[in-house]
C-alpha cells in the first residue's frame, strides 16, 4: 500500500525510457533488500501488478501493488521509504494468498478531483462561446430558460468590467486607451479578434489571462521609453503593457470569486447524472457506442465538502466512487459538468451523451486528479476467514495519509495552478474556440455541434477540436487505456 505525488513523473506504470512511480518503487525494493538480486533486473519475475494505473502527473493518496517481496525484516517499510523521495511513501505491506492480484480483486476505486470554483463562471460575453450561448438561446426560444439557469452569475462580468477593468482604462492616456479599447472589441460574425492585426497591435481576448499576464508586482504601465525607439513602437509597448494589466485584472477577479450555494447545488445535480451503469463511450478514446466495455458503474459522484480557500482562490473537492474507469474518463466527466454548469446548459444534456452519437468532450487538466484509495471489500470479507490474513485497509494509516496529502499533493496542486493557471487557460481555449464542436452545451443541443457555427466552414472533427483546446495528446494509450482518469 502506497501513496505518491505524480508531479514530475510520466505516470504510474513501469517504462524502460521514462521516469515513473513504479520505476522508482522497484529500485527502492531492490536497494532495501525486499527483492533478490536474481530478480532485480526484471520486474516480471516479481509478478508486479498495480491496482490502478495513473496517468502523467496524476497523484494517489492510496494505491496498491501486488508482487513477491522478501519481508523478513520488521523494519522493511522504513528501509524502503529511506530509498524513496518524499513524493512516494509506502504505508504498509500485507501478506496475501499466492493467487492475489491487486487489479482483479479490487472492487472499486474512489478518486478526488480538485477544481477552482471560478471554472464554473460563464464565458465572458465577448468570447465566441459567450456570444453563441445567447445567440442560439434566442434562436431556440430558450433565452428566458438560459437566463434563469445563469441567474446567480447574470451580472458577474458586468461588475468585473466596472470594478477591475474600467479603472485601468481611465488611467491610460487617451491614445493608448483607444488602442486598448479596439483590442477589446470582438467581431460579432467571427468571434474574438485575432492575437494580432496587420499593424502589429496586440489584440486581447477579455478573459484570456495566459502566460504573459504580469506578476503581482508588475502593476504600472511603462512610460519611459528608450530614446532611440520610435514614438509608434513606444506606444505599442505601452498598449501591450496595458493589455497585460487587464489580463492580470481578469485573473485576479476570477480568483476572488466565491461560488454561491445555488451554483454548488447545480454542480451536484449535474454530477448525479453520472450515477448508475452508463455508456461512457464519449468519455474515453477509441470506444464506440456498441463497445460493451464502455459501460461503467458509478456508485456516487458529488462535492465532498465545503469549498477551500487557498492563497485567495476558492477550490471544490469532487469525489467519484466507481467500479472502474477508462482512459481520461474522470477528467472528461469533470469537464462536461463544468461546461454544462458554466454555460447555463440543461443538465439533461449529460444523459444525451450516453446515446449513439459522437461528441468531443475535452479532458480537464490532470493537475487536479488524485486516486484517494481502492476498495477491496469482497476480498477483505473472505481473507480473515479463509486465509487467516489481514485485510487491505488504509484506515490504519489515516493520519499519515492525510499529512502526506496536504504536504505532497494538495500543496503541489495549489502551487502549480497558481504558477501555471492551467484551469484558466483550459477554459479560455474552449471559450475562444471558433468552431462549433463544443456547441452541444448551447440551447441547440448536440445538433448544434454538427453545424457550421456561423463560420461558413464545415465543423472540425472531434479529434481535431480536442487537439486545439487540450495541452496534451488525446491518443496516448497505456495499458489498454484502463484506469487513470
Provide the annotated active-site residues.
Answer: 55
C-alpha span between 342 and 324 (Å, rounded): 28
- DSSP assignments along 43-93, one per residue: GGGGT-EES----TT-EEEEE-EE------STTHHHHHHHTS-TTEEE---
C-alpha span between 424 and 426 (Å, rounded): 5
Distance of CA 292 to the CA centre of its chain: 27
**Beta-carbon-side half-sphere exposure of residue 18 (alpha carbons within 13 Å):** 15
- DSSP assignments along 253-268, one per residue: HHHT----HHHHHHHH
Q: How many of the other CB atoms lie within 10 Å of CB of 126?
A: 22
Grid coordinates standing for 405? 496529502
**Beta-carbon-side half-sphere exposure of residue 345 (alpha carbons within 13 Å):** 31
Residues 6+ apart with CB under 8 A from 303: 264, 267, 268, 271, 316, 317, 318
C-alpha span between 136 and 175 (Å, rounded): 37
C-alpha span between 129 and 441 (Å, rounded): 10
3 state DSSP class of 132: helix
For residue 4, give the H/E element and its range: strand 2-4
103 annotated to bind ligand: no
Annotated binding site for substrate: 111
Annotated binding site: 111
Amino acid at each position: 500500500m502506497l501513496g505518491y505525488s505524480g508531479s514530475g513523473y510520466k505516470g504510474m506504470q513501469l517504462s524502460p525510457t521514462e521516469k515513473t512511480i513504479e520505476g522508482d518503487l522497484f529500485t527502492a525494493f531492490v536497494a532495501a533488500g525486499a527483492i533478490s538480486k536474481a530478480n532485480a533486473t526484471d520486474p516480471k519475475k516479481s509478478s508486479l501488478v498495480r491496482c490502478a494505473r495513473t496517468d502523467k502527473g496524476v497523484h494517489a493518496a492510496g494505491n496498491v501493488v501486488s508482487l513477491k517481496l522478501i519481508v523478513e525484516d520488521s523494519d522493511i517499510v522504513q528501509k524502503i521509504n529511506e530509498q524513496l523521495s518524499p513524493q512516494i511513501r509506502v504505508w504498509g505491506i500485507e501478506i496475501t494468498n499466492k493467487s492475489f492480484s491487486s487489479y482483479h480483486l479490487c472492487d472499486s476505486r474512489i478518486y478526488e478531483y480538485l477544481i477552482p470554483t471560478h471554472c464554473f463562471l460563464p464565458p465572458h460575453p465577448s468570447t465566441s462561446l459567450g456570444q453563441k450561448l445567447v445567440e442560439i438561446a434566442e434562436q431556440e426560444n430558450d433565452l428566458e430558460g438560459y437566463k434563469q439557469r445563469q441567474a446567480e452569475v447574470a451580472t458577474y462580468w458586468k461588475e468585473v468590467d466596472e470594478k477591475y477593468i474600467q479603472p485601468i482604462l481611465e488611467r491610460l492616456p487617451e491614445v493608448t486607451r483607444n488602442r486598448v479599447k479596439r483590442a477589446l472589441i470582438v467581431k460579432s460574425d467571427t468571434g474574438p479578434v485575432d492575437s494580432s492585426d496587420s499593424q502589429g497591435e496586440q489584440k486581447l481576448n477579455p478573459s484570456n489571462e495566459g502566460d504573459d499576464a504580469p506578476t503581482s508586482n508588475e502593476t504600472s504601465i511603462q512610460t519611459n521609453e528608450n530614446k532611440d525607439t520610435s514614438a509608434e513602437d513606444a506606444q505599442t509597448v505601452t498598449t501591450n503593457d496595458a493589455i497585460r494589466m487587464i489580463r492580470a485584472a481578469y485573473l485576479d477577479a476570477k480568483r476572488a470569486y466565491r461560488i454561491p450555494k445555488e451554483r454548488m447545488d447545480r454542480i451536484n445535480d449535474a454530477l448525479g447524472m453520472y450515477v448508475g451503469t452508463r455508456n461512457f463511450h464519449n468519455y474515453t478514446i477509441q470506444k464506440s457506442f456498441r463497445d460493451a466495455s464502455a459501460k461503467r458503474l458509478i456508485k456516487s459522484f458529488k462535492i465532498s465538502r465545503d469549498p477551500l480557500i487557498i492563497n485567495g482562490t476558492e477550490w471544490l473537492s469532487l469525489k467519484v466512487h466507481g467500479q472502474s474507469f477508462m482512459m481520461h474518463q474522470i477528467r472528461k466527466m469533470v469537464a462536461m459538468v463544468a461546461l454544462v454548469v458554466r454555460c447555463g446548459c440543461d443538465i439533461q444534456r449529460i444523459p444525451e451523451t450516453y446515446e449513439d452519437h459522437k461528441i468531443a468532450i475535452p479532458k480537464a487538466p490532470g493537475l487536479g486528479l488524485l486516486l484517494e484509495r481502492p476498495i477491496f471489500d469482497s476480498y477483505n470479507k473472505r481473507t480473515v476467514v479463509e486465509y487467516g490474513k489481514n485485510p487491505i485497509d488504509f484506515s490504519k494509516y489515516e493520519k499519515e495519509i492525510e499529512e502526506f496529502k496536504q504536504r505532497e499533493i494538495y500543496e503541489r496542486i495549489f502551487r502549480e495552478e497558481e504558477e501555471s493557471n492551467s484551469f484558466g487557460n483550459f477554459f479560455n481555449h474552449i471559450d475562444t474556440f471558433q468552431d462549433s464542436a463544443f456547441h452541444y452545451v448551447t440551447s441547440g443541443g448536440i445538433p448544434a455541434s454538427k453545424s457550421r457555427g456561423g463560420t461558413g466552414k464545415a465543423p472540425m472533427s472531434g479529434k481535431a477540436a480536442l487537439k486545439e483546446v487540450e495541452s496534451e495528446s488525446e491518443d496516448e494509450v497505456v495499458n489498454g487505456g484502463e484506469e487513470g482518469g
